Amino acid sequence: MSKNIDERVKALRRLMKAEGISAYYITGTDPHQSEYVSPRWRTRAFISGFTGSAGSVLITEDKALLWVDSRYYIQGASEIENSEFILMKIEELSPETYMEENLEKGAVLGIEERSVSINSFLFLKELLARRDIEVVTTKDLLSSLWQDRPSAPVTKLRLVDVAYAGLTREDKLERVRSVLEKKGVDFTFITSIDDIAWLTNLRGDDILYNPVFLSFAFVDKTKAVLFTAKERFDEKVRAEIEKCFEIREYEEAYTLLPSIAHGKAYFDSTKVNMGFFSVFEKAFFTGIDITTTLKARKNMIELRGMRRAHKLDGIAFANFMANLDTEPDGSLSEIDVSNAFEAQRDRLEGYLGPSFAPISAFAENGAIVHYSATKESNRKIDKDGLLVLDTGSQFYFGMTDLTRTLLFGKATREEKIDYTLVLKGHLALASQRFIKGTRGYQLDILAHQYLWTAGMTYSHGTGHGVGCNLNVHEGPMRISPAPIDVPLEEGMVLSDEPGVYKENRHGVRIENLVAVQKDVTTEFGEFLSFEVLSLVPYEKELIETNLLTDNEIKLINAYHEWVRDELIDEVDEKAKAWLEKATSPLVRV
């Protein structure tokens, strides 16, 4: 594989030279700036061999560099081993800073036009102009090298019933237009495909695990146009959509938009690609997509569906655990464990499939934050140790994202301490009341505090937004150290997932989903809190009770009592005994 990678890099350098380009920047995304992409746009993997969901590549005349974040340090190093690629840690040195400091004066940096947002391109152009480095957009240079490159997906579309969406597409268009009016603008152009799926109450299958479809959307005060392949629609779906949207072919967005976009524009410059730049050179305002903000606040119907999804997920987990042999005799593998959980989920009413690729990571593999077991890496559970199990479910009425750290055999003192410190942070965040207007970064310390006190930390975010039968990662809200200026609002659903990872030893992560809810109003203002959605017991055998306060023990016992009461009449008969034991009161030893 490394030989093929090096040959591809050499071939790309020949194309760069022919185009007069000194360096070529590969963002690894699609024309919609998606986190997860269909096979056609897995450009980062094609050129470097790295298969993670985030990262970028810079090819110069004599260097091949792969940037990844802390989730992928171990995986990235492994996947580029024996190739000419060098791993770069984005937390230590960003690609932009590297280019500013290392590209020669007079160099030309090329980026494929549709793979870079307007915001990112203009930032790079301004930054590098200080050193007389030109930044240009190019055609897709990789296509001529990628002989068997997959075509763009064109999956069939299905309608989401208003009984599960909570709002009709007419309702949603009305809300978008109301915001346009308030902002004093004439139209918006949307390229974020999960936003478009939400706006249209449509779902597709263009990207694995994400029920979305490649599309663009234009909305002004009287017209709405959906740009996507017409062959996706059957007669019924097309008739419904044409009540609100004019349907045009996907590629027509690039040619038709200039003729229909009149007046002041509002768009998200971090999402719209440079192929549309000429449309937005005058009279525009940028910010988070209107639909992104509307979508983030789940309505009452969506929240009801999310609660239902989590109850079903809890039932599946209890049935799974009741049948899981936790003796580490080598009879099970990482994939066996995730498959066993999946088999129980597959029995559930309304279950559509996983919401992301499962993470089932035993022992030292648990230290790889986004580890994904393959046939080659699939580890046997043949000794005492911890298994990080991070999985999720898609339902037509909701979605889940759950992580539990499971114990096989006996735990060491170190493993128990690590688990308990992670649990303390997890509980602290979930139980916090906070003033309306609070941003996620203001709460992030709650989850880190006990690990920090012990001289430990984790580098991934504490909480990401979660969609409702959409993408498992959605914005604009987040709980992390990054100072994202988005207040947490009622109806937002986020994860609460602190962890700790020790290379070549073990990993711990505990994740529930929580929904922001109204709490109390006092003379000081309106306060919010979190409603916990996940219904799955913690691993009591890993809890060091002498590290817990009396209040933390009460929180755990109250949570377990709620889990037991919600699930006990719904689980298999065999699972009732497991559930009773798993949720029995925790007492200090």
> Rounded to 5 degrees, what angle do the CA atoms 525, 528, 532 make?
170
pLDDT tens profile 491-514: 999 999 999 999 999 999 999 999
pLDDT tens sequence across 349-403? 999 999 999 999 999 999 998 888 888 889 999 999 999 999 999 999 999 999 9
Longest pairwise C-alpha distance within the chain = 73
pLDDT at 289: 98
pLDDT at 108 over 60: yes
The answer as to whether 588 is a domain residue is no
Strand 64-68 with 56-59, pairing: antiparallel
385 sits in which H/E element? strand 385-391
Question: Is residue 465 located within the same domain as residue 316?
Answer: yes
Calculate the alpha carbon distances from 73 to 77, 91, 306, 386 in Å. Answer: 6, 11, 33, 21
Q: Within this chain, do residues 13 and 37 fall inside the same structural domain, yes or no?
A: yes
Contact partners, residue 562, CB within 8 Å, separation at least 6: 535
Distance CA 205, CA 211 (A): 5
List the CATH number of the domain containing 182. 3.40.350.10
Indicate which CATH number applies to the domain containing 304: 3.90.230.10
Asked if 93 and 16 count as a contact pair (C-beta separation under 8 A), the reply is no
Do 459 and 378 fall into the same domain? Answer: yes
Regarding whether 493 and 382 lie in a shared domain, the answer is: yes
Instruction: Tell whether 115 is covered by a domain.
Output: yes
For residues 40 and 44, give the distance between their C-alpha atoms in angstroms, rounded to a whole number: 11
Choosing from 295, 325, 352, the residue where a domain stops is 295
Residue 2 — pLDDT band, cuts 50, 70, 90? low
Asked if pLDDT for residue 282 goes beyond 80, the answer is no
The SS3 assignment for 57 reads strand
Q: Is the dihedral of CA 401, 407, 411, 412 positive or negative?
A: negative
Does 318 lie in the same domain as 331? yes
Question: Which residues, including other chains, have CB under 8 Å from residue 445's CB and lie 6 or more apart?
Answer: none
Q: What is the mean pLDDT of residues 420-428?
A: 98
* HSE value, Cβ hemisphere, 13 Å, CA-based, for 129: 7
Task: Specify if 255 maps to a domain.
Answer: yes
Regarding whether 441 and 306 lie in a shared domain, the answer is yes
Closest CA to 472 of 460, 463, 481, 480: 463
**Token pair belonging to 19:** 């185009």
542-558 residue pLDDT tens: 999 999 999 999 999 99
Question: Using alpha carbons only, what angle is made at residue 244 by residues 238 and 250, rounded to the nearest 5 degrees?
Answer: 60
| Cβ–Cβ under 8 Å, residues 232 and 212 | no
The one-character DSSP state at 533 is -
β-strand partners of 512: 496
Mean pLDDT over all residues of the chain? Answer: 96
Burial label, 514 (beta-carbon count in 10 A; 0-12, 13-18, 19+): buried
Number of folded domains that form the chain: 3
Indicate whether 284 and 313 sit together in one domain: no
pLDDT of 1 over the 80 cut: no
Claim to verify: residue 104 and residue 222 sit in the same structural domain: no
Asked if 388 and 509 touch (Cβ cutoff 8 Å), the reply is yes
| Cis previous bond, 483, omega within 30 | no
Token reading at 308: 């239902």
Strand, coil or helix: 581: helix
- Read off the DSSP letter of residue 569: T
424 and 333 inside one domain: yes
Residue 515: pLDDT over 60: yes
Neighbours of 133 (CB within 10 A): 21
Domain boundary among 263, 295, 327: 295
Provide mean pLDDT across the span 121-149.
Answer: 95
**Tokens 């229909």 label which residue?**
260
Report, as an integer, the average pLDDT of 479-483: 96
Cβ atoms within 10 A of the Cβ of 474, count? 24
Give yes or no for a contact between 490 and 517, defined as CB atoms under 8 angstroms apart: yes
- Residues 40-90 have pLDDT tens digits of 999 999 999 999 888 999 999 999 999 998 878 888 888 999 999 999 999
Instruction: Tell me whether residue 314 is in a domain.
Output: yes
Residue 94 CB-density burial (10 A; 0-12 exposed, 13-18 middle, 19+ buried) = middle
What pLDDT does 254 receive? 97
Q: Residue 504: helix, strand or coil by DSSP? A: coil
**Residue 264 CB partners (closer than 8 Å, separation 6+):** 184, 185, 186, 187, 283, 284, 285
Q: Based on the domain organization, do 189 and 129 belong to the same domain?
A: no
> Does residue 133 lie in a domain region?
yes
Is 149 a member of any domain? no
pTM for this model (two decimals): 0.95
Please, which residues have CB within 8 angstroms of residue 433's CB and are 6 or more apart in sequence? 519, 520, 527, 528, 529
Q: Are 380 and 517 found together in one domain?
A: yes
504 within 8 A of 282, measured Cβ to Cβ: no
Beta bridge partners of 560: none
* Strand blocks (E) in 418-505: 434-435, 463-465, 474-479, 493-496, 499-502
- The reported pLDDT for the residue numbered 3 is 63
Exposure pattern of 557-573 as b/e (b: 16+ CB <10 Å)? eebbeebbeebeeebee
Is the pLDDT at 175 greater than 60, yes or no?
yes
**φ, ψ of residue 223 in degrees (nearest 5):** -125, 150
Residue 361 maps to a domain: yes
Whether residues 488 and 571 share a domain: the answer is yes
Of 78, 109, 144, which residue sits at a domain end? 144
Domain range for 496 is 297-582
Residue of 510, 542, 225, 315 whose CA lies nearest to 413: 542
Instruction: For residue 150, tell me if it sits in a domain.
Output: no
Supply the pLDDT for residue 544: 98
531 membership: H or E segment, kind and range: strand 525-532
The candidate with the shortest Cα–Cα distance to 459, out of 401, 499, 511, is 499
